[in-house]
Amino acid sequence: MEVSILKQGPYLIVTIPAALNDTDLLELRDSLVARVGESRSRAVIIDVSALDVMDSFSSRTLRDIAHIIRLRGAGTVIVGIQPEVAFAMVQLGLTLEGITTALDLEEGLAYLDRDPFEVGKEIRSRGR
Amino acid sequence: MTVIPLRSAKRSGPVADDEVMAIGSDVDIVTARQKGRAVARQLGFSSTDLTLIATAISELARNIILYAQRGEIRLGIVQNGTEVGMQMTASDTGPGIPNIKLALQGGYSTSGGLGLGLPGVRRLMDEMEIASAVGKGTTVTATKWKR
């Protein structure tokens, strides 16, 4: 299953489908990292609201994606983690520390649309 | 064969035909957790519990693939007096776990993972039991009771 990456101004937006397997997620990681450079994007928004489960692998891969993209000079915001999924993640010990999250796509965009210099600074320092 | 019961296991017996799912690739992980969610929904678990159960199945299926390449997950309904629960049994004939105590410590992993799998499943579920023999395989049984 190929995940489409939408370009919206300086951002790339990805909506993760419900039944994403490991291979799909790793492919998404690779294409996102390439697209950030090709599109000269400032940030990537990953919408996980359709995802029914965030287990150790998907959580680690999302964290890796955010770190790799930071090294490419852009930021990442994970949006739409569902309440039950968040609860299960905490039980599992997956806190996505250092990763910027927002309630939904709208909040994610609003967050990035604030002062770009401030946002860039914050994202970079959080990922450290 | 070492058996470590992790919490006081209530006596329970399966009351319905078990659902057996073969686990052999990452696609099976998704199928198994969706099937598990469907079974738990039929039993009337809350939506939070459905997610906890699906996440636990995902971790157990992932462990099978990581360590044993293939195995199976069996889903069953268990009963204890008036209580109804869902039980999952993940079994493989892989390398086994040399040190179960260590494997249950958070952050310990021999696969390069996060080491959250087994301790995570223990926190997600109400009861868990591991039986493992080096060179023979591993069986993890975990139960969630309906509140």
* Residue-wise pLDDT tens digits, B133-146: 999 999 999 999 99
Query: φ, ψ for residue A46 (rounded to 5)?
Result: -110, 115
- pLDDT at residue B146, rounded to an integer: 94
User: Which residues in chain B are contacts of A55 at CB distance < 8 A?
Assistant: 55, 58-59, 62
Instruction: Give mean pLDDT, residues B24-50.
Output: 95
Q: Does B54 touch chain A (CB under 8 A)?
A: yes
pLDDT bucket at B103, cuts 50 / 70 / 90: confident
More confident residue, B110 or B37: B37
What is d(CA A36, CA A24) in angstroms, rounded to the nearest whole number? 18
Indicate the pLDDT class of residue A93, thresholds 50, 70 and 90: confident
Q: Flag if B26 and A23 touch (Cβ within 8 Å).
A: yes
Q: For residue A103, give the 3-state DSSP assignment.
A: coil
pLDDT at B17: 67
Q: Which residue has the higher pLDDT, B105 or B91?
A: B91
CATH code at position B97: 3.30.565.10
**CATH top-level class of A5-126:** alpha beta
* CA separation for the pair B96, B102 (Å, rounded): 13
What pLDDT was estimated at residue A35? 96
- How many domains, in total, are found in chain B? 1
Kindly indicate the confidence band of residue B108, based on its pLDDT and cuts at 50, 70 and 90.
low
With an 8 Å Cβ cutoff, is A57 touching chain B? yes
- Min CA distance, B106 vs chain A (Å)? 9
User: Which residues are CB-contacts of B50 (< 8 A; sequence separation ≥ 6)?
Assistant: A84, B37, B40, B41
Six token digits for residue B94: 């892989």
Range of the domain at B71: 2-145
Q: Which of B143, B128, B130, B119 is nearest to B45 (CA)?
A: B143
pLDDT score at B7:
52
Residue type, position A1, single letter: M
Is the CB of A91 less than 8 angstroms away from the CB of B123? yes
Map out the domains of chain A as residue ranges.
5-126
pTM (predicted TM-score): 0.87
- Cα–Cα distance between A124 and A108 in angstroms, integer? 16
Question: Does A92 touch chain B if contact means CB atoms closer than 8 Å?
Answer: yes
In angstroms, what separates the C-alpha of A46 from chain B's closest C-alpha?
20
The mean pLDDT of A102-111, rounded to a whole number, is 96
Nearest 5°: the CA angle B114, B117, B118 is: 130
Give mean pLDDT, residues A84-91. 94
Residue type, A80: G
Region B42-71: mean pLDDT is 95
CB within 8 Å: B26 and A22: yes
Inter-helix orientation angle A56-71/A22-38, to 10°:
10
Q: Among residues A66, A60, A57, which one has the least CA distance to residue A22?
A: A57
Position B102 scores a pLDDT of: 83
Q: Say if residue B8's pLDDT is above 50.
A: no
Query: Quick one: residue A84, left, alpha or beta (phi over 0 = left, psi -120 to 50 = alpha)?
Result: alpha
Averaged pLDDT, B34-63: 95
pLDDT reading at B87 higher than 60? yes
Cross-chain Cβ contact B54/A53 below 8 Å: yes
Are B124 and B8 in contact by the 8 Å Cβ rule? The answer is no
